[in-house]
Amino acid sequence: MSPAARRIVTEARRVVVKVGSSSISGANTAQIGPLVDALAAAHSRGVEVVLVSSGAIATGIPYLNLDARPTDLATQQAAAAVGQNLLIFRYQESLDRYGIVAGQVLLTAGDLEHATPRSNAQRAMERLLSLRILPIVNENDTVATQEIRFGDNDRLAALVCELVHADLLVLLSDVDAIYTKPPHEPGAQRIAHVPAGDDLAHVELGDIGAAGVGTGGAGTKIGAARFAAEQGVPAIVTSTSAVDAALRGDDVGTWFEATTAD
């Protein structure tokens, strides 16, 4: 990470962090603790942190006695209803170690596309942050239909950045960076820096990651990071295990340079 990029990270006062389902559910549920450690460390430095967390459906699946992600919308909604409650409880239980209170914010695409609900969401988020509450945002899967879904929480995180006028977006997954091709393939090289306006057309994208519980992949990370960058918000794409290093400005992941206003 260049000195200029590191300075942007360390001086960021409002940060949106997005974590995917596979990183904090199932066998990886224990990663909630280290993730919260990193968020709490940033919070203690005075940073206003917004967490966009997937995982409601994945968390609810075992409690519906299912062995895989359901394909029909009604069962997805049922799994989300059960899982969202458990997911927030797990986050709050971990945040209690630091005396930090979480606030649950559930959104649909329609909420951010229409002026009144968008204004309401923005006002609530601003008040939560001013009270030093840590908002935890997720798609409102219980009411979202196929027509009004974000499709993945990477896009939601980028839109939340725009909503709250964030200084930085951090997108987390199971992979430590964006690579020129799927990282398990020979010759794959980490992309450390993406200049403003680079569409990364040369990148070979692979399949969606671990366990099939998420809906995002490298392509959605790139799309979300580029959207944020075009709005003037730089982004880091890295692994959940590297979140503390990313928030401290260490040279990890892939840095998406923000477009500057003319």
Nearest C-alpha neighbor of 194 from the set 178, 213, 214, 212: 178
174 assigned binding-site residue = yes
Distance CA 23, CA 91 (A): 13
2 assigned binding-site residue = no
Distance CA 64, CA 253 (A): 36
Q: Which two tokens stand for residue 44?
A: 């203690």
Distance CA 98, CA 49 (A): 14
Contact 246, 170 (CB under 8 A): yes
141 assigned binding-site residue = yes
Q: Which two tokens stand for residue 40?
A: 């709490």
Q: Residue length, the chain?
A: 262
Distance CA 239, CA 224 (A): 16
Q: Which two tokens stand for residue 46?
A: 């005075």
Q: Which residues contact 62 (CB under 8 A, 6 or more apart)?
A: none
Q: Binding site for ATP, residues? A: 18, 173-174
Q: Binding site, residues? A: 18, 54, 141, 153, 173-174
Q: Binding site for substrate, residues? A: 54, 141, 153
